[in-house]
Amino acid sequence: MLILASASPRRRELLNQAGFEFQVHPAHIPEELHLNEDPIAYVTRLAREKAEAVYAKLAEPTAIVLGADTTVTLDNHILGKPENPEDAARMLRLLSGRTHRVITGVALVSATQTQVAAEVTAVQFLTLSEQEIADYIATSEPNDKAGAYAIQGRAARWIPRIEGCYFNVVGLPISLVSTLLQSI
């Protein structure tokens, strides 16, 4: 039995789209960045902690719990979810006209093993005007998204190129998850 340790509707949609059968049991853990923590270490640690927390609560020996965490990085600085519209505008200005990385940490926890991996995708942004940023923020789409944008939403028009897994940018690298599941 596969358990998704996330409340993310995007992760649920991606797993459904790929044909996985699963249940949802969101993890509720602190998502604080540790001092001098590398972005890949950060998302893989959170993914593992989420999966372990849910596995411990379930007490179901046949369960495989999937934890995931996604972040956006620019110049090795993490851009999490914006705190407010001003923070979203700040992030979008930083991303404007530049290429950044989207990193998702994935963890699978079962009775016999824990597997942790990360997927990295480079995303190129067009240069945005202040009006485009203001109009986008007014849609509320950036509110709960790492880096203040959704590639599968209105921000798609500003992304001419990516290198790597598209689904990673949405929030869950499905091929990586599938590969890890096959090895358990």
Of 60 and 142, more confident: 142
Q: Which of 25-34, 102-111, 126-135 has the least mean pLDDT?
A: 25-34
Please say if the pLDDT value at position 33 is more than 90.
Answer: no
> What Cα–Cα distance (Å) separates residue 54 from each residue in 2, 19, 63, 144?
12, 22, 10, 22
In percent, the amount of the chain with pLDDT more than 90 equals: 91
**What CATH code is carried by the domain that includes residue 166?**
3.90.950.10
Please say if the pLDDT value at position 35 is more than 90.
Answer: no
Give phi and psi for 145, each to the nearest 5.
-115, 135
Catalytic residue numbers read 69
Burial 147-170 (b: 16+ CB within 10 A, else e): bbbbbbeebeebbeebeebebbbb
Task: Count up the domains in the chain and report the number.
Answer: 1
Confidence class of residue 60 from pLDDT cuts 50, 70 and 90? confident
How high is the mean pLDDT of the chain? 96
Helix (H) / strand (E) containing 89: helix 85-95
Confidence class of residue 76 from pLDDT cuts 50, 70 and 90? confident
pTM score of the predicted model: 0.93
Lookup: tokens for 182? 């096959």
Which residue's structure tokens are 């997927």? 119
| Mean per-residue pLDDT, 21-45 | 93
Please say if the pLDDT value at position 110 is more than 90.
Answer: yes
Range of the domain at 118: 2-183
User: Left, alpha or beta for 50 (phi > 0: left; psi -120 to 50: alpha)?
Assistant: alpha
CB of 5 closer than 8 Å to CB of 53: yes
